[in-house]
Amino acid sequence: MDFKKTILWAVFSMSGLLLYNNWQVHEGKPSMFGGAPTGNISAPTKAPDAKVDVPAPLQAGAVPAIAQTPAISSSGIETAEKFILKNDVLSLQISANGANVVDAKLLKQFTAEKNPIDLFQYNPTHKYFARSGLITLGDLELPNHTSTFKLLETGKDGAGNPFMVLTSERSGVKLEKTFILHPGSYVVDVGHRVTQSNPNPNPLVLYTELVRDASQEQKIGPFDGAFSASTYTGPAVYTDKEKFNKLEFTAIDKNKITIPTQVAAGDPAWIAMVQHYFASAWIPGDKFVRDIYAGKIDNNLYRIGMQTPLGVVAPGTTVVEKARLFVGPQEESVLETITPGFALLKDYGYLTILAKPIFWLLENIHAYVGNWGWSIVLLTILIKLVFFPLSAASYKSMARMKEVQPRLMAMKEQYKGEPQKLNQAMMEMYRKEKINPLGGCLPVVIQIPVFIALYWVLLSSVEMRNAPWILWIHDLSVPDPYYILPIIMAASMFVQTKLNPTPPDPVQAKVMMYMPLVFSIMFFFFPAGLVLYWVVNNLLSIAQQWQINQMFGKKHAK
What are the tens digits of pLDDT across the range 323-377? 999 999 999 889 989 998 898 898 887 788 888 899 999 999 999 998 999 999 9
- Cβ neighbours around 80 below 10 Å, total: 18
Do 319 and 365 sit in the same domain of this protein?
A: no
Question: Which has the higher per-residue pLDDT, 71 or 211?
Answer: 211
Answer whether 259's CB lies under 8 Å from 293's CB: yes
Q: Which pLDDT score is estimated for 307?
A: 93
**Residues 461 and 505 placed together within one structural domain of the fold:** yes
Both 397 and 277 in a single domain?
no
Q: Name the helix (H) or strand (E) containing 211.
A: strand 203-212
**How far is 508 from 176, CA to CA, in rounded Å?**
73
Distance CA 212, CA 359 (A): 30
Q: Is residue 224 part of a domain?
A: no
191: in domain: yes
Q: Which residue segment(s) compose the domain that 301 sits in?
A: 80-218+230-347
Using alpha carbons, list the distances in angstroms from residue 266 to 203, 240, 290, 324, 383.
21, 10, 10, 16, 43
- Residue with the larger pLDDT of the pair 20 and 328: 328
In a domain, residue 47? The reply is no
The whole-angstrom separation of Cα 217 and Cα 207 is: 26
Closest CA to 340 of 437, 422, 263, 239: 239
Phi first, then psi, for residue 47 (nearest 5°) are -65, 150
Residue 211's contacts (CB-CB under 8 Å, 6 or more residues apart) are 72, 127, 128, 129, 130, 131, 297, 301, 302, 303
Dist CA 492 CA 513 (whole Å)? 12
Tell me, yes or no, whether 100 and 198 share the same domain.
yes
Note the pLDDT of residue 448.
78
Greatest mean pLDDT range, 80-84, 480-484, 521-525: 80-84
d(CA 345, CA 30): 11
| Percent of the chain topping pLDDT 90 | 31
Averaged over 32-55, what is the pLDDT? 32
- 20's CB contacts (< 8 A; 6+ apart) are 353
Same domain, 382 and 268: no
Alpha-carbon gap, residue 20 to 16, rounded angstroms: 6
In 37-111, at which residue ranges do the beta strands (DSSP E only) sit? Answer: 82-86, 90-95, 101-110
Q: Report which of 266, 165, 222, 153 is spatially closest to residue 477, judged by C-alpha positions.
A: 222
How far apart are alpha carbons 370 and 519 in whole angstroms? Answer: 30
55 within a domain of the structure (yes/no): no
Q: How much is the pLDDT for 395?
A: 58
**Residues 97 and 83 sit within 8 Å (Cβ to Cβ):** no
Q: Alpha-carbon dihedral of residues 239, 214, 25, 8, nearest 10 degrees? A: 160
Least Cα distance to 71 among 148, 131, 137 occurs for: 131
For residues 521 and 379, state if they share a domain. Answer: yes
Residue 400 pLDDT level (bands cut at 50, 70, 90): low
Residues 377 and 491 in one domain: yes
Specify whether 396 is located in the same domain as 306: no
d(CA 381, CA 401): 27
Sequence-ordered list of residues with C-beta below 8 angstroms from that of 173, at least 6 positions apart, any chain: 134, 142, 143, 194, 195, 196, 197, 198, 204, 313
**CB hemisphere CA count around 167 (13 angstroms):** 13
In a domain, 50, yes or no: no
In this structure, is residue 35 part of a structural domain?
no
**Position 49 in a domain:** no
pTM above 0.85, yes or no: no
The total number of structural domains in the chain stands at 2
**β-bridge partners, 210:** 130, 304
What value does the mean pLDDT take over residues 103-108? 94
Q: Domain check: are 365 and 317 in the same one? A: no
* pLDDT tens-digit map of 169-197: 999 999 999 999 999 999 999 999 999 99
Q: Percent of the chain, pLDDT > 70? A: 70
> Are 177 and 87 in a shared domain?
yes
Average pLDDT, the chain: 77
> Are residue 409 and residue 299 in the same domain, yes or no?
no
Least confident of 51-65, 102-116, 134-148, 274-288: 51-65
Is the Cβ–Cβ distance between 70 and 76 less than 8 Å?
A: no
Whether 65 maps to a domain, the answer reads no
Determine which helix (DSSP H) or strand (DSSP E) holds 281, and give its type and residue range.
strand 278-284
Give the pLDDT band of residue 423 (cuts 50, 70, 90).
confident
Could you say which of 347, 376, 407 is where a domain stops? Answer: 347
Q: What is the CATH number of the domain that holds 271?
A: 2.70.98.90
CA distance 312 to 283: 23
Average pLDDT over residues 499-514: 59
Please tell me whether residues 162 and 243 are part of one structural domain: yes
